[in-house]
Amino acid sequence: MPDRYVARDSAELVGVRVTATTVAGTAVNPTGYTVTVAVVPESTVTPTSGDYKVATWQTGARGTFAVLLVGPGSSVGTLAPGNYKLWAKVSASPETPVVKSPDRLVIY
């Protein structure tokens, strides 16, 4: 699992790659939907609804990502040093898919 290192006093964007397809396998662009991201300690099994913060989309050569600012001045705030997991929740009525990032966020 790749690690993303961010200094405790740094404000940086982090992201969760999101792919979407129909049941038949046709690719769908998820960026028209509202997305939220949760940043939780690695030991957390699943985030609670209060863990999710409003996020934005970024699309590029590596795919489509739900991105969120972490650190001082962000909606997440300053994180304590440790290992964290990122989760994205897409509001695509009637579905609400939740995606866990395989990456680990390491705050030092």
| pLDDT of 32 higher than 90 | yes
Mean pLDDT of all residues in 12-36? 96
User: Residue 15: pLDDT above 90?
Assistant: yes
Query: What CATH number is given to the structural domain containing 23?
Result: 2.60.40
Does the pLDDT value for residue 9 go beyond 70? yes
Domain total in the chain: 1
Q: Looking at beta carbons, which pairs linking 20-28 to residues 24 or more positions away fall under 8 Å?
A: 20/90, 20/92, 20/97
Rounded to an integer, what distance in angstroms lies between the CA atom of residue 78 and that of residue 89? 22
Task: Using pLDDT thresholds of 50, 70 and 90, give the confidence band for residue 1.
Answer: low
Residue type at 36 in one-letter notation: T
pLDDT at 87 > cutoff 70: yes
- Whether pLDDT at 47 is above 80: yes
Give the model confidence (pLDDT) of 64-78 as tens digits: 999 999 999 999 999
Q: Which residues pair with 100 in a beta bridge?
A: 87
- 3-state DSSP call for residue 63? strand
Residues of the domain holding 78: 3-107
**pLDDT at res. 96:** 96
